């Protein structure tokens, strides 16, 4: 039985690209669930992570960074962030110390969808500032009077995260847990497998390539000898991109396969046989049915 005042709720993490949203969720869960890269716009949909404590179950929703949309894919990404706000009991608006006190218009706009919900500002990357420089940043944001709380953290160095958690819990309703207390997400294993492959592509390729790429796990079979067979398609938009991804004599693709397999095995805690194929689907980022197929479909006003 749970304690009488046990709390359960959804907490959306929203903000600009690259401020550290996925790093924060992983740090809070003490597990790598959401992929992290040095490039913006890595996260494309909402990623659910469940933190189970003695006193609370916090369901975090990591979301794509808020940008001006250029492709239908971007509109879907913003749609995922909006749907996370709609479901949230509390909202973590994430920014980083270098932003001074600016809340960009893309973020302001989406916050209109969150009217009445508690907005907690998380100022990340405080490890990059000298202690004496942090207070003025907090004061500048406080003058906006938009936020119930302002919490400076370093997601990377795991600084001030306990404070963040106890603050968040204050804003959650008293409720029984929604999920069993031994699971960390409801998204299937194969989703995280595809995401890890996508992360390696973000790390290894430049320019438009990572942004033009989707990954689809087409086969996922448990084999008796303890190895899982995973066949995944890497989707690109042009023939020339396919050539670059594969590389001369297939070396580049082989490297992606090796790097991905190591992380997938760590994530699944078992051995994996990974087979990657590269396919061209022209303009998939503008194609409603392909976006849906690759897992990016969402109703804007869900």
Ligand X SMILES: Nc1nc2c(ncn2[C@@H]2O[C@H](COP(=O)(O)OP(=O)(O)O)[C@@H](O)[C@H]2O)c(=O)[nH]1
Which residues of this protein are in contact with ligand X, per CB under 6 A?
17-23, 36-38, 42-43, 65, 124-125, 127-128, 154-156
Q: Using the minimum distance from each CB to ligand X, give the nearer residue, 149 or 159.
A: 159
At what angle are helices 251-268 and 239-246 packed, to 10 degrees? 70
Q: Which stretch binds Mg ion (CB under 5 A): 20-28, 118-126, 168-176, 205-213?
A: 20-28
Does 124 engage in binding with Mg ion (CB under 5 A)? Answer: no
Identify residues 44-63 at the interface with Mg ion (CB under 5 A): none
Shortest distance, position 275 Cβ to ligand X, whole Å:
27
What does 201 bind: Mg ion, ligand X, none (CB cut-off 5 to 8 Å by kind)?
A: none
CA torsion angle 34 37 39 40 (round to 10): 20
Shortest distance, position 174 Cβ to ligand X, whole Å:
30
DSSP assignment of 188-247 equals -HHHHHHHHHHHHHHHH--TTTGGG-EEEEEEEEE-TTSPEEEEEEEEESSHHHHHHHH-
Single residue of 7, 14, 22, 107 touching Mg ion by CB under 5 A: 22
Rounded distance between C-alpha atoms, residue 35 and residue 199, angstroms: 6
What does 125 bind: ligand X, Mg ion, none (CB cut-off 5 to 8 Å by kind)?
A: ligand X
Phi/psi of residue 221, nearest 5 degrees: -130, 130
Q: Using the minimum distance from each CB to ligand X, give the nearer residue, 127 or 186.
A: 127
Q: Are 235 and 294 in contact (CB under 8 A)?
A: yes
Residues of the shown chain interacting with Mg ion in the complex, contacts defined by CB under 5 A: 21-22, 43
């Amino acid at each position: 039985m749970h304690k009488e005042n046990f709390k359960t709720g959804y907490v959306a993490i929203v903000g600009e690209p690259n401020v550290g949203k996925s790093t924060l969720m992983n740090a809070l869960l003490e597990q790598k669930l959401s992929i992290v890269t040095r490039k913006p716009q890595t996260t494309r949909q909402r990623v659910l992570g469940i933190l189970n404590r003695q006193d609370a179950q916090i369901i975090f929703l990591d979301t794509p960074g808020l940008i001006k949309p250029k492709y239908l894919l971007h509109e879907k990404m913003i749609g995922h962030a909006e749907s996370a706000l709609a479901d949230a009991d509390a909202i973590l608006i994430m920014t980083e110390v270098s932003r001074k006190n600016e809340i960009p218009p893309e973020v302001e706009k989406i916050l209109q969808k969150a009217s009445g919900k508690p907005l907690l500002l998380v100022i990340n990357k405080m490890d990059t500032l000298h202690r004496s420089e942090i207070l003025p940043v907090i004061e500048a944001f406080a003058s906006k009077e938009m936020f119930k709380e302002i919490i400076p953290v370093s997601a990377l160095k795991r600084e001030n995260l306990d404070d963040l958690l106890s603050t968040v819990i204050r804003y959650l309703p008293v409720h029984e847990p929604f999920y069993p207390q031994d699971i960390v997400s409801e998204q299937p294993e194969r989703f995280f497998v595809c995401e890890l492959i996508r992360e390696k592509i973000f790390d290894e390729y430049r320019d438009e390539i990572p942004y033009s790429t989707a990954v689809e796990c087409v086969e996922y079979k448990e084999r008796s000898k303890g190895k899982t067979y995973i066949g995944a398609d890497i989707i690109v938009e042009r023939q020339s991109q396919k050539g670059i991804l594969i590389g001369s004599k297939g070396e580049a693709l082989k490297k992606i396969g090796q790097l991905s397999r190591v992380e997938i095995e760590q994530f699944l805690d078992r051995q994996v046989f990974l087979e990657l194929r590269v396919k061209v689907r022209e303009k998939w980022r503008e194609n409603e049915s392909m976006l849906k197929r690759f897992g990016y479909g969402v109703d804007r006003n869900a």
